[in-house]
């Protein structure tokens, strides 16, 4: 069938429509393209299709440099010019907030999307899965693993570390974390101690974790922040992938929490957003369920002589004592409905919500609005160029 691709939709597809009005979610096209496409799913209400041949190119189409497109599902918008990727993601943030959250456009300030300093070679961490013939990623919409010899999103050192994996008998998947000069691995599967030790002896590998065991020192330490704190990460804990845009993300959070002296943070991880807040008389109470992440945060704060109160546990269930004038929440992609309800009941004046999924942000934001909060502003940040993902930092304030 022949269709014309329209704007970007959530998930990295473009939207198209048939003559009978039915919606088509189209893989592999750029806005404005006219393509020949094949349908691989018909739900009755909509179709899913993939572009087979571009009949005429739209103004935003570029030549995708990756040889593994479209077999690998990691970069579904690589054929779209970066400026159009940014426009599309900014529009998707507004669409989710309006359609799911009920926040009309113009009722809050939607700030321009913050672009990444790097469009390629920006990832410092990745999880590779065993594939026939190497290591790779899941194909779009399937569980089949596509071997990828070289990923154009990887920082050079991350790619070098990936190349060191070789066959690695017994391993099913490996998480890799790159620092500035070396990195660390988290290996899953039935791998012998001998093979893990061989990896850990390589000059570029600080340490290896596997099934809770550690060989060497798998902790990667970043350069000091302005307050002297150094973020620590491990390959088996969460860390932001695009280090080039983390300072902008931290800056947005600092700006929105300016004037807040008693901050409650939920889902703090190892401190990407916590550490910049410490000092200058501000008190921070940070909650996290992952014990290794809390240990890393504690060491980073203590090393810099910066006080922080840490609470281990589920953000939705822990007992929170004390008085706070703002909350910072940075949940996983699934959102944090229960924790948001808990925050709303505390009636804090200000809530800063950092989200890697605009639809769940909108859903949770709607819950805040129903409890008397107003969405004041939202800022998208493109931490994931060439992919369908982006972050949004939103500010909610209690209605007076």
CA torsion 80→82→87→89, rounded to 10°? 80
Both tokens assigned to 75: 């970069």
Q: How far apart are CA 79 and CA 255, in angstroms?
A: 34
Both tokens assigned to 180: 């500035």
- C-alpha distance across the termini of the chain, in Å: 55
Q: What are phi and psi of 356, to 5 degrees?
A: -105, 15
Catalytic residue among 72, 75, 151, 356: 356
Active site residue 151: no
Partners of 128 in beta bridges: 174
Q: How far apart are CA 103 and CA 366, in angstroms?
A: 8
Going by their DSSP bridges, the two strands 23-27 and 34-42 should be labelled as: unpaired
247 touches 223 (CB < 8 A) = no
Pick from 207, 247, 241: which is nearest to 223 by CA?
247
Q: How far apart are CA 124 and CA 246, in angstroms?
A: 12
Partners of 19 in beta bridges: none
Catalytic residues: 356
């Amino acid at each position: 069938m022949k269709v014309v691709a329209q704007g970007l939709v959530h998930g990295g597809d473009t939207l198209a429509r048939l003559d009978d009005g039915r919606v088509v979610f189209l893989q592999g096209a750029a806005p404005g393209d006219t393509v020949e496409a094949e349908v691989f799913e018909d739900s009755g209400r909509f179709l899913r299709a993939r572009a087979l041949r571009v009949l005429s190119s739209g103004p935003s189409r570029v030549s995708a440099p990756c040889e593994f497109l479209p077999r690998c599902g990691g970069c579904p918008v690589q054929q779209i010019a970066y400026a159009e990727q940014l426009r599309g993601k900014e529009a998707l943030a507004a669409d989710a907030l309006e359609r799911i959250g009920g926040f009309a456009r113009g009722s809050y300030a939607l700030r321009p999307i913050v672009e990444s300093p790097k469009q390629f070679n920006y990832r410092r961490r990745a999880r590779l899965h065993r594939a026939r013939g190497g290591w790779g990623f899941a194909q779009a919409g399937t569980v089949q693993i596509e071997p990828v010899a070289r990923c154009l999103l990887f920082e050079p050192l991350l790619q070098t570390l990936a190349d060191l994996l070789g066959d690695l008998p017994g391993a099913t998947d490996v998480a890799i974390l790159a620092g500035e000069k070396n990195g660390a691995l988290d290996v899953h599967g039935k791998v012998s101690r001998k093979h893990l030790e061989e990896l850990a002896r390589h000059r570029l590998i600080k340490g290896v974790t596997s099934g809770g065991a550690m060989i060497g020192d798998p902790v990667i330490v970043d350069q000091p922040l302005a307050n002297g704190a150094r973020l620590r990460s491990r390959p088996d804990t969460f860390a932001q992938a695009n280090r080039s845009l983390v300072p902008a993300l931290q800056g947005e959070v600092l700006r929105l929490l300016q004037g807040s002296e008693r901050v409650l943070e939920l889902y703090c991880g190892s401190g990407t957003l916590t550490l910049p807040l410490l000092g200058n008389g501000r008190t921070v109470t940070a909650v996290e369920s992952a014990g290794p992440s809390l240990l890393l945060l504690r060491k980073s704060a203590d090393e810099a002589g910066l006080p922080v109160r840490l609470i281990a546990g589920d953000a939705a269930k822990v007992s929170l004592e004390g008085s706070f004038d703002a909350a910072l929440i940075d949940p996983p992609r699934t959102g944090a409905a229960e924790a948001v309800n808990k925050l709303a009941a505390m009636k804090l004046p200000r809530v800063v919500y950092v989200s890697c999924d605009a639809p769940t942000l909108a859903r949770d934001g709607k819950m805040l609005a129903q409890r008397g909060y107003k969405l004041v502003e939202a800022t998208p940040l493109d931490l994931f160029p060439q992919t369908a993902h982006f972050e949004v930092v939103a500010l909610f304030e209690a209605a007076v």
